[in-house]
Amino acid sequence: MDSLSTYDLPKVNFKPRRLGHVNLYVSDLGVSTEFYTNIAGVELVRREPTIEAIFFSNGNTHHDVALMQCRGGAVRKGRDDYVQASSFRGEMPGLNHLAWEMHSETVLIEKLKAGTANGLEIKFSADHLISHSAYIEDPEGIYHEFYADVTEDWRSIFNTDREDLVTADWDWQNIEAPLGPRRPDREDKRRVESALFHARCVSRAVIAVENLGHSDAFLTTVAGLTQIEQADGVAAYCAAVSAYDLLIVSAETVARPGLVGFSLLVEDENDLKTSILKADEKGINVASVIDAGHKISAIVYDPDGLAVEFYHPRKDDRLHHLPSHDDDPFWVFDY
């Protein structure tokens, strides 16, 4: 990793529990909604038409995937005229932010107070009704949301009967009684039967960066992730209760910087095998299949060219070996 002696980062150590969701800007909201519902098999749980956003979940949490229509030059406002997305964001399809689930609102506020005292810059903080969040920009310009759930009954807010605005300002500095842990019902499991794949939840993501050293410093010093393993041009990280959440690779080794792709867990191996076989019948291009001792996976491109891995772990769901760059465009999923 590059030396960080000339790069000043505040020590925050958010130490989130896990990767909670990916939020994407998309070129065509309708087309991408079709993909994530009918190909990926994640249920649409919330529409927010005023800001052209859609949220998907199969019950693991309030949303595993969120989509926002690209709308360059437009300001998107939430409740009480809160500026949810500024005009310079969302001009091109790609990652809006990665979201990291914190242990509780109490812990999140403690980290924000300590971090800002050490020079941490918060881009904005938000009350999403289901969660409270702070957004931090990393050295590559990637936004990371650190959020704490504030209700266990998220379906009363995230459901298709409601299309009202969700987001407003969160005044985290003046919370008198921060909340403890709020966890969703782990038995809440939904399935889009008509879909090709049947994903349970998002589990990890792959990011291509220009400066691995700076990114590593942010992920370990600010975000508080644990580096599992690293080699030339690649490094893997985990959060507090998960075994493998994030891979960063040199932008020189992939087609473009930013989000390369992400992984969706499929709980049933035979179900995944059936999906792979049915893909050809439905005219869906499975770009790659990995059939190894520790996992089976299928990789499909979403409408904007992001690689989406549907995988089932045959052993522990963790990093079994660090991916090594080669001519296979899907080498980042060989873990």
Q: Does the pLDDT at position 86 exceed 80? A: no
Question: What are the tens digits of pLDDT across the range 279-329?
Answer: 999 999 999 999 999 999 999 999 999 999 999 999 999 999 999 999 899
DSSP 37: I
Q: Half-sphere exposure (CA, 13 Å, Cβ side) for 210?
A: 5
Secondary structure (DSSP) of 175-189: -SS--------TT--
Q: Which amino acid is present at 291?
A: D
Residue 154 in tokens: 């998220």
Distance CA 158, CA 165 (A): 11
Closest CA to 199 of 312, 34, 279, 32: 312
Q: In this structure, how many other beta carbons lie within 10 angstroms of the beta carbon of residue 95?
A: 18
Is beta strand 18-26 parallel, antiparallel or unpaired with respect to 94-101? antiparallel
Distance CA 323, CA 335 (A): 5
Q: How confident is the model at residue 91 (pLDDT cuts 50, 70, 90)?
A: confident
Q: How confident is the model at residue 165 (pLDDT cuts 50, 70, 90)?
A: very high
Question: What are the tens digits of pLDDT across the range 224-253?
Answer: 999 999 999 999 999 999 999 999 999 999
With a CB cutoff of 8 Å and minimum separation 6, the contacts of 153 are: none
Q: How confident is the model at residue 3 (pLDDT cuts 50, 70, 90)?
A: very low
Confidence (pLDDT) at 1: 53
Q: Does the pLDDT at position 112 exceed 60? A: yes
Residue 158 in tokens: 């995230």
Share of the chain above pLDDT 90, in %: 89
With a CB cutoff of 8 Å and minimum separation 6, the contacts of 204 are: 19, 244, 245, 246, 247, 262, 263
Distance CA 130, CA 306 (A): 27
96-105 average pLDDT score: 99
Share of the chain above pLDDT 70, in %: 97
Q: Does the pLDDT at position 148 exceed 60? A: yes
3-state SS assignment for residue 52: coil
Q: Does the pLDDT at position 2 exceed 70? A: no
Confidence (pLDDT) at 314: 98
Distance CA 219, CA 246 (A): 10
Confidence (pLDDT) at 5: 39
Strands (E), 138-224: 143-149, 168-169, 201-209
Mean pLDDT of the chain: 95
Q: Tell me the β-bridge partners of 335.
A: none
The lowest-confidence range among 20-29, 65-74, 195-204, 237-246 is 65-74
**CB contact at 8 A, 94 and 22:** no
Is beta strand 143-149 parallel, antiparallel or unpaired with respect to 94-101? parallel
Confidence (pLDDT) at 83: 83
Domains of the chain: 18-169 (3.10.180.10), 199-333 (3.10.180.10)
H or E element, residue 269: helix 269-281
Confidence (pLDDT) at 245: 99
Length of the chain: 335
22-26 average pLDDT score: 98
Confidence (pLDDT) at 87: 62
With a CB cutoff of 8 Å and minimum separation 6, the contacts of 30 are: none
> Which residue is associated with the tokens 């649409």?
44
> Which residue is associated with the tokens 């050490």?
118
Confidence (pLDDT) at 72: 75
Question: What are the tens digits of pLDDT across the range 311-322?
Answer: 999 999 999 999
Q: Does the pLDDT at position 6 exceed 80? A: no
Distance CA 259, CA 306 (A): 8
Question: What are the tens digits of pLDDT across the range 47-83?
Answer: 999 999 999 999 999 999 999 999 877 788 889 888 8
Q: How confident is the model at residue 90 (pLDDT cuts 50, 70, 90)?
A: confident
Distance CA 102, CA 18 (A): 8
